[in-house]
């Protein structure tokens, strides 16, 4: 018997991916030269498997603001927001996020994962209920597990299934927080948000929308799916991340309810960790401003999205979502085919993501392409062209 | 709700998740014996929830390793034996 026996299934799964020179999971990047280019295994590649939706990681203004903050305020805060880790700039970013949504409350967390942990584990207490979509991100399930509320799953993207669960709660539905995402990162699909809002309102429940993958992508100002569908007034809490469209690291929660501020005194993932470093806060503030004004970036991103979805559909691939979005998940019949596709793309100079069970819903084997506003037309030609030699996998 | 009704819903949901299994052993462990992965287990439980019109809190499932234990929890959620 060993402490490590429990990992034998994972070890077998890892072994099944082979021992080629470039591993398909935790793939090491030798060098990053731009938002869309890197060197992997000694070969230059186009990055088509990052979450850099607006392509801001190398934006000169973000880099310059981060550089100045690094020089002025040092490398780290070395402490919690509740002790020595609240700088004027953390408060300024929170004010800017609140202002972007027109809401009075905004909290910044050290990662997007911790934003869900901190909000879900604290907002819903022992007498409350968390109703979460079955295909939710791990941070949502982990946040639910860290708290003490009763956790109930409903079928993915199924408002009618949610309604049955809310109806069973009866009057207790007023103490239920429903959690959905603006874009599900595995299959790239979106929720029927208006229908969810209708069910939540009907039963007097609360709605939290995780816009981690949709912030910067949807809506005139890039605020996410709620903005695009004119439903901002119907949402109680929005959680988001700085590590995708905003090209940094960190997370946030904004709300029209000023009482959110009380979480600062109760949320353990907020309190018991160091606050984000000055350079990260500075680049994030600049990226937020660029995103809010980023209509041209979104136009280019959506041009790339529509090209990719159109092309892959024409080639006969089954996609994880029929509605185009920044994540394009190609469903492949088995792990071997998915691995062959991933390697084929890499050999053609394209880095994508291989996604396999247990990380994927319904045991799917996926090749996931994530697009960026920074992908040029020529790079898109290369990405599309790389699929020509692979076969449809059907 | 009668235990018989609960066990029947479990049987039907297992048959859907594992076609061809036949009558399942209620002492079999869901993962190591029946060979269900964690996603299959969760989907099977949502199927049972719909059949019995009951919500099973995820927290409760941490204590459930066999079909029999699942039946016990469902019986408790529905207010005990009747």
Write the pLDDT tens digit of every residue in A276-291.
999 999 999 999 999 9
Question: What is the arithmetic mean of pLDDT over A40-56?
Answer: 97
Domain count, chain B: 1
Residues 105-164 of A with CB under 8 A from B: 134, 141, 144-145, 150-155, 161, 164
* Confidence (pLDDT) at B82: 40
CB-based contact A152 B39, cutoff 8 Å: no
CB-based contact B57 A357, cutoff 8 Å: no
- Say if residue A111 is in the same domain as residue A220: yes
- Say if residue A87 is in the same domain as residue A45: no
Point out the domain boundary residue: A262, A292, A322. A292
Model confidence at A394: pLDDT above 50: no
Q: Which residues of B touch A152 (CB under 8 A)?
A: 55-58
Instruction: Looking at the complex, report in whole angstroms how far the Cα of residue A332 sits from the nearest Cα belonging to chain B.
Output: 18
A40 domain-assigned? yes
A351: domain CATH number is 3.90.1150.10
Question: What is the arithmetic mean of pLDDT over A195-213?
Answer: 98
Model confidence at A120: pLDDT above 60: yes
Model confidence at B38: pLDDT above 80: no
- Say if residue A200 is in the same domain as residue A245: yes
Model confidence at B32: pLDDT above 90: no
A229 domain-assigned? yes
Model confidence at A215: pLDDT above 60: yes
* Residue B31 pLDDT grade (very low, low, confident, very high; cuts 50, 70, 90): confident
Q: What is the mean pLDDT of chain A?
A: 96
A41 domain-assigned? yes
A185 in active site = yes
- Say if residue A17 is in the same domain as residue A97: no
**A152, closest residue in chain B (CA to CA):** B57
CB-based contact A165 B42, cutoff 8 Å: no
- Say if residue A231 is in the same domain as residue A268: yes
- Say if residue A282 is in the same domain as residue A303: no
Question: What is the arithmetic mean of pLDDT over B39-58?
Answer: 88
Domain count, chain A: 2
* Confidence (pLDDT) at A95: 98
Optimal mutation site among B39, B41, B50, B73, interface A, most CBs of chain A within 10 A: B39
CB-based contact B39 A164, cutoff 8 Å: no
- Say if residue A152 is in the same domain as residue A284: yes
B44: domain CATH number is 1.10.1200.10
Model confidence at A138: pLDDT above 50: yes
- Say if residue A108 is in the same domain as residue A152: yes
Reported as a single tens digit per residue, the pLDDT across A242-253 is 999 999 999 999
Please tell me whether the peptide bond between A168 and the residue prior to it is cis, using omega within 30 degrees of 0: no
Q: Which residue segment(s) compose the domain that B9 sits in?
A: 3-77
- Say if residue A186 is in the same domain as residue A87: yes
* Residue A391 pLDDT grade (very low, low, confident, very high; cuts 50, 70, 90): low
Reported as a single tens digit per residue, the pLDDT across A58-78 is 999 999 999 999 999 999 999
Model confidence at A255: pLDDT above 50: yes
Model confidence at A265: pLDDT above 60: yes
Given the cut 0.95, state whether the ipTM is greater than it. no
Q: Does B55 touch chain A (CB under 8 A)?
A: yes
A309 domain-assigned? yes
Reported as a single tens digit per residue, the pLDDT across A225-235 is 999 999 999 99
Q: Which residue segment(s) compose the domain that A262 sits in?
A: 60-292
Point out the domain boundary residue: A277, A292, A307. A292
Q: What is the mean pLDDT of chain B?
A: 86
Model confidence at A379: pLDDT above 70: yes
* Residue A363 pLDDT grade (very low, low, confident, very high; cuts 50, 70, 90): confident
Q: Minimum mean pLDDT among A124-138, A192-206, B36-50: which range?
A: B36-50
B82 domain-assigned? no
Question: What is the arithmetic mean of pLDDT over A153-179?
Answer: 96
- Single out the catalytic residue among A244, A267, A283, A372: A244
């Amino acid at each position: 018997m060993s402490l490590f026996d429990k990992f034998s299934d994972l070890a077998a799964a890892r072994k099944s991916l082979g021992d080629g020179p470039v591993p398909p999971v935790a793939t090491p990047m030798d060098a990053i030269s731009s938002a869309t280019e890197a060197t992997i295994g000694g070969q230059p590649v186009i990055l088509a498997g990052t979450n850099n939706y607006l392509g801001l990681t190398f934006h000169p203004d973000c880099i310059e603001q981060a550089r100045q903050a690094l020089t002025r305020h040092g490398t780290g805060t070395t402490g919690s927001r509740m002790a020595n880790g609240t700088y004027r700039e953390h408060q300024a970013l929170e004010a800017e996020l609140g202002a972007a949504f027109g809401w009075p409350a905004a909290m910044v967390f050290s990662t997007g994962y911790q934003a869900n942990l901190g909000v879900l584990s604290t907002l819903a207490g022992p007498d409350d209920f968390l109703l979460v979509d079955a295909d939710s991100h791990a941070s949502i399930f982990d946040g639910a597990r860290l708290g003490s509320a009763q956790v109930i799953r409903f079928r993915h993207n199924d408002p009618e299934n949610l309604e049955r669960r809310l109806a069973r709660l009866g009057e207790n539905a007023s103490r239920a927080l429903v959690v959905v995402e603006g874009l599900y990162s595995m299959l790239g699909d979106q929720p029927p948000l208006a229908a969810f809002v209708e069910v939540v309102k009907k039963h007097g429940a609360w709605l939290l929308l995780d816009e981690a993958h949709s912030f910067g992508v949807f809506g005139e100002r890039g605020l996410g799916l709620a903005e695009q569908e004119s439903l901002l007034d119907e949402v109680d809490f929005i959680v988001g991340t700085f590590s995708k469209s905003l090209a940094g690291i960190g997370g946030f929660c904004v709300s029209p309810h000023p009482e959110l501020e009380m979480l600062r005194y109760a949320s353990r993932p907020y309190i018991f960790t160091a606050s984000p470093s000055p350079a990260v806060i500075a680049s994030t503030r600049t990226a937020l401003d660029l995103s809010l004004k980023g209509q041209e970036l979104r136009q280019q991103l959506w041009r790339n999205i529509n090209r990719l979805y159109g092309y892959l559909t024409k080639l006969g691939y089954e996609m994880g979502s029929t509605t185009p979005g920044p994540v394009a998940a190609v469903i492949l019949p088995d792990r071997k085919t998915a691995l062959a596709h991933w390697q084929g793309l890499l050999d053609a100079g394209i880095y994508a993501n291989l996604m396999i069970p247990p990380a994927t819903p319904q045991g799917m084997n996926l090749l996931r392409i994530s697009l960026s506003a920074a992908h040029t037309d020529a790079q898109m030609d290369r990405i599309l062209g790389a699929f020509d030699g692979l076969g449809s996998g059907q | 709700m009668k235990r018989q009704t609960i066990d029947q819903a479990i049987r039907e949901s297992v048959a859907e998740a594992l076609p061809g299994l036949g009558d399942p052993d209620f002492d079999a462990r869901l993962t190591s014996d029946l060979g269900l992965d964690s996603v299959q287990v969760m989907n099977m439980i949502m199927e049972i929830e719909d059949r019995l019109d009951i919500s099973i809190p995820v927290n409760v499932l941490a204590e459930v390793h066999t079909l029999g234990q699942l039946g016990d929890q469902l019986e408790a959620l529905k207010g005990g034996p009747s």
